[in-house]
Amino acid sequence: MPIRSEPVTVNVGPQHPSTHGVFRLRITFDGEVILDVEPVFGYLHRGSEKLAEERTYTQVITLTDRLDYVASMTNNQAYVLAAEKLSGIQPPERGMYLRVIAAELQRIASHLVATGFLLNDLGAFATPLMYCFRERERILDLFEMLCGARITLSYMRVGGVFQDAPEEFWPALRIFLQDMPGYIDEYEQLLSENEILVTRTKGVSVLTPQQAINASVTGPVLRASGMAWDLRKIDPYEVYGRVAFAVPLGAAGDNYDRFKIRLDEMRQSLRIIEQCVEQIGPGPVRANTPGLIRPPVGDAYGRIEGPKGELGFYLVSDGGIAPYRFKIRSPSFINLTVLRDLLIGWKLADMIVTLGSIDINMGEVDR
């Protein structure tokens, strides 16, 4: 018969390597079993939304880089789509193709980080993480060719992109597209049937479809629970309506499905990029926009399927050169709301893995 001990409340974080950022959890334990969880946010708050209301529409782009800073390209994309919707600006076709190529490369890079650090949380100290970083570095090399930066990219603009891809970008991209499927195969062979990974993740912290819907969870966390919701299919933007790709789904909604679905999504991103490379044609990459954009009075919401889920920007214009109101719908923040349901009844070691499976970035939580 199990013996019930006196409950103990423990702080995990805000400075802890397995909290994936400056994030604090107040956890009440009975022995090692979790009885209650209280997430505590706010340690990284930088006021990005208020800062954006004092900057021009172009200057705001640099603030979006610092939100989910391992997925800067997709942050740029969501914001410029919202600004274009507000302003009535239509980017040229080549610019849209370059955006999608950059966004899907960023999705792969983000999923590589999520996979590598999840395995790090499981105790696989170096090998999987270094393998994932090896391929991520090649993507960052491609980004450096596009815009001269590797992390905070600021590549996209309202009306298109900063500049066209240089000649050396295309052969480097083709070599990456040839090599990357083999690397994903390598990850699967190394990890997907690993006894420790399977034991620690299968059946652990199950998120039911109903729980996910009630909490407005999106992205790989939602699709791991079997819900086929992907904005690139449901509400196509840019040129996603012109490319064929599948939406990988999980069955159990557990930590293993959340790990596995990201590997499957990387394969689909490669499919999208290959089709974009085949379809892209010559032409301008940016619309002829004024130096200071002044959208008409009104509001607009732009959203994309980011690596972590639905990333949206709500903008209100008063006719000036800066947004009157700037609001971010960040998937990391929304997806964290199910953390308590996922953790109660499990142990501290499971908590570390479950938090890693959600794949959060505190830069877009404490915005």
Which domain, by its residues, includes 204? 8-154+166-365
Domain holding 37: CATH number?
Answer: 1.10.645.10
The total number of structural domains in the chain stands at 1
Identify whether 188 is part of a domain: yes
Specify the DSSP class assigned to residue 156: E
Within the chain, which residues score under 70 in pLDDT?
1-4
What the block records as the tokens of 20 is 């994936």
Instruction: Identify whether 12 is part of a domain.
Output: yes
Whether 244 is in a domain gets the answer yes
- Tell me, yes or no, whether 253 lies in a domain: yes
Q: What is the pLDDT of residue 4?
A: 67
Asked if residue 160 is part of any domain, the answer here is: no
Residue 2 falls inside a structural domain: no
Domain-located, residue 350: yes
Closest CA to 222 of 114, 340, 338: 338
pLDDT of residue 19: 78
Q: Does 172 map to a domain?
A: yes
Q: Which two tokens stand for residue 15?
A: 């400075």
Contacts of 46 (CB under 8 A, 6+ apart): 66, 363, 366, 367
